[in-house]
Amino acid sequence: MKSLEELLSRQSEMTIHLLASAIQQYIHEQWQQVLQQSKEELLRIYDTAGEAAYGTYAQRLFRPVQKQLKQAGVLSEPRFPGTLSTSREWGPLDGRERWMWCVMKQEKGAPFGTIVIRFFHDHTQFRVPHRPVVLALEETETHAIVEALSYTSAHFKNAGA
């Protein structure tokens, strides 16, 4: 992953689309590697604590992004990639999808957009069937974010009903 600082130095300003693209590229390069490096431990966690294993995996996958955001002076609310309380989940037990989001802003600036992470997982066994997907929204207010995501996905909309 090219550092966010490097990307910023070549751009006149950070956009939510540029940021989403950089994060998606990192995920594309790293999601399986992080999964394989931690697989035995994640299986043990799943056997003893269930879905907490996905939280451990997400922390390991997204920690480098969190560090680079901080180094680049980009803040998120809530902390990247989002929290369970600001997310929605749906799907069959063996094919769940959770959408988490966080609003992004420069240290000394107004929010410039929202990053949404689509995280795929299984509730019947420890399995991440697809790499996470990053969506960029220009909306920054909660009601507008929920409305935009509801327009994007009927599943998202129905999960909040």
Task: Judge whether 27 and 34 are in contact, CB under 8 Å.
Answer: no
pLDDT (0 to 100) of residue 158: 94
Q: How far apart are CA 158 and CA 161, in angstroms?
A: 5
Task: Judge whether 57 and 46 are in contact, CB under 8 Å.
Answer: no
Tell me how many domains the chain contains: 1
What is each CA distance from 30 to 18, 64, 126, in whole angstroms? Answer: 19, 10, 18
pLDDT (0 to 100) of residue 10: 65
Task: Judge whether 102 and 81 are in contact, CB under 8 Å.
Answer: yes
pLDDT > 70? residue 97: yes
CA dihedral for 124, 97, 3, 114, sign (positive or negative): negative
pLDDT (0 to 100) of residue 90: 95
Q: What is the domain range of residue 135?
A: 4-159
The residue that leads in pLDDT, 161 or 91, is 91
pLDDT in tens, 111-126: 999 999 999 999 999 9
pLDDT in tens, 43-94: 999 999 999 999 999 999 999 999 999 988 899 999 999 998 889 999 999 9
Tell me whether residue 16 is exposed, middle or buried, using C-beta atoms within 10 angstroms of its C-beta: 0 to 12, 13 to 18, 19 or more: buried
Query: What is the residue-averaged pLDDT of the chain?
Result: 92
